[in-house]
Structure 1
Amino acid sequence: MSNTHLFLKSGFLTTPGYNGVGRYVCQLQRVVLKFCKNNGSSRGMRDFVEKGLINFAESNPGVVVYLKPRRHRSPVIIAEYLNGDKQHISCRNYTEEEVLKWLNLLRTQSGNHEGFRLRKMWHTDHPSIQGPWTPFTFREEGLNLVKFPQENLSVPLNEPKSATQQLLEAFKRQQKDVCDLEKQRGE
């Protein structure tokens, strides 16, 4: 067993736990593409900037893309996430397709990279000391043998009648009264 985990940054997961339940929020905030205009190791990055950058930016409007040309340096992709993490990827001698694959990988990640040791594998905003709740937690034991539906177990609803129901009942009473009057006149 190694002791390398002792030197990793540790903490709790800071990504929103409910991302994608209501709507999905891309965790990648901005991307900085650093490259050299003349260096041969930046050829793939330059090709991506010329051919594929517009398509990537149009398909990901929530991600801000910055270009930073610099002299005599190898190409680098710097990704910044909503939780404050940054990730650096050296793109030395990468092709245009490899740069696009790395950008798509960074776009789909949450920002917590491998150098992060989680203290807990699960997280909840409202911890419970009673244990997990199930639908059968506070049920009576006798209900296991009962055949449903039963009238004595059903709870009557004391909801007020809607206006439509009141009108229908008034119409039925009026029809009944009209029928009773006709019977009286006919006798």
Structure 2
Amino acid sequence: MSNSNLFLKSAFVRAPLQNGVGRYVCQLQRIVLKFCKSHGGSRGIRDFIEQDLVNFAKQNPSVVVYLKPRRHRSPAVVAEYLNGDRVWMSMHLKTHSEITKWIEVLRTQQGDVSGARLRKYQYTDHPSLQGPWTPFTFKDPELNVAQLPDPKFGANNRIPMSATEKLRIMFEKQKISDEEVKTGE
């Protein structure tokens, strides 16, 4: 096992500022599309700029979009988030549809979580002293040593009588009372 995770920063995976609880705030702050106007490897990103960039900007008014043409350089997308993270992604020889999907992924992320060592899988602002809840937290300890099926612990004790059972019992009582009436006459 490697100890390379010791050199990563320690972090939690959590929604910043309770994002999504009251309202949703897009965490993508700025996106920079770097491309070459003539190189063939930039064809997909140029198609995205020509066809989808205006719609992307209209649908995401909180995201600032920069276009940075560079001569004879490979295309790339740099996304900057509210928490200060920057994600750089190469778009060399990617198609228009692939670039559209990757930009949607960058838009919905909250930053670069892969560069952090996760200390816990859960996070809360008000931690419990008792630990996390499980389905077995408030179970009766006698259940550990009981021989099952046991009517004491069975679910049949708590299930109310069905309508069919009630009708059967009423029919049996009516049948018995009809027989008593016949024999009593």
TM-score by length of 2: 0.65
Instruction: Name the counterpart of 1:98.
Output: 98
Q: Is the 8 A contact 2:9 2:117 kept in 1?
A: yes
Instruction: Name the counterpart of 2:127.
Output: 127
Q: Is the 8 A contact 1:14 1:83 kept in 2?
A: no
Provide the secondary structure at the position in 1 that maps to 2:21: coil
Instruction: Name the counterpart of 1:70.
Output: 70
Instruction: Name the counterpart of 1:48.
Output: 48
Q: CA RMSD in A?
A: 2.1
- Against the structure 1 CA distance between its residues 94 and 131, is the aligned structure 2 distance closer, same or farther, given a 3 Å change threshold? closer
Matches within 5 A, 1:12-161: 12-13=12-13, 15-16=15-16, 18-129=18-129
Instruction: Name the counterpart of 1:5.
Output: 5
Provide the secondary structure at the position in 2 that maps to 1:106: helix
Aligned length: 134
Provide the secondary structure at the position in 1 that maps to 2:16: coil
- Against the structure 1 CA distance between its residues 66 and 130, is the aligned structure 2 distance closer, same or farther, given a 3 Å change threshold? same
Cα distance per residue 1:131-159 (max 9 Å; x no partner): 679xxxxxxxxxxxxxxxxxxxxxxxxxx
- Against the structure 1 CA distance between its residues 95 and 128, is the aligned structure 2 distance closer, same or farther, given a 3 Å change threshold? same
TM-score by length of 1: 0.65
How far the C-alpha of 1:43 sits from its partner, in A, is 0.8
Provide the secondary structure at the position in 1 that maps to 2:18: coil
Amino acid in structure 1 at the alignment position of 2:3: N
How far the C-alpha of 1:15 sits from its partner, in A, is 4.0
Q: Distance in 2 between matches of 1:10 and 1:130?
A: 24
Q: Is the 8 A contact 2:81 2:111 kept in 1?
A: yes
- Against the structure 1 CA distance between its residues 95 and 55, is the aligned structure 2 distance closer, same or farther, given a 3 Å change threshold? same
Q: Percent identity?
A: 65
Q: Distance in 1 between matches of 2:114 and 2:71?
A: 31
How far the C-alpha of 1:17 sits from its partner, in A, is 5.5
Cα distance per residue 1:4-59 (max 9 Å; x no partner): 32232323446415211111111111100001111111111111111111111111
Q: Is the 8 A contact 1:36 1:71 kept in 2?
A: yes
How far the C-alpha of 1:3 sits from its partner, in A, is 2.5
- Against the structure 1 CA distance between its residues 130 and 9, is the aligned structure 2 distance closer, same or farther, given a 3 Å change threshold? closer
How far the C-alpha of 1:85 sits from its partner, in A, is 0.3
Structure 1 residue ranges without an equivalent (≥5): 134-187
- Against the structure 1 CA distance between its residues 131 and 99, is the aligned structure 2 distance closer, same or farther, given a 3 Å change threshold? closer
Amino acid in structure 2 at the alignment position of 1:58: K
Amino acid in structure 2 at the alignment position of 1:59: Q
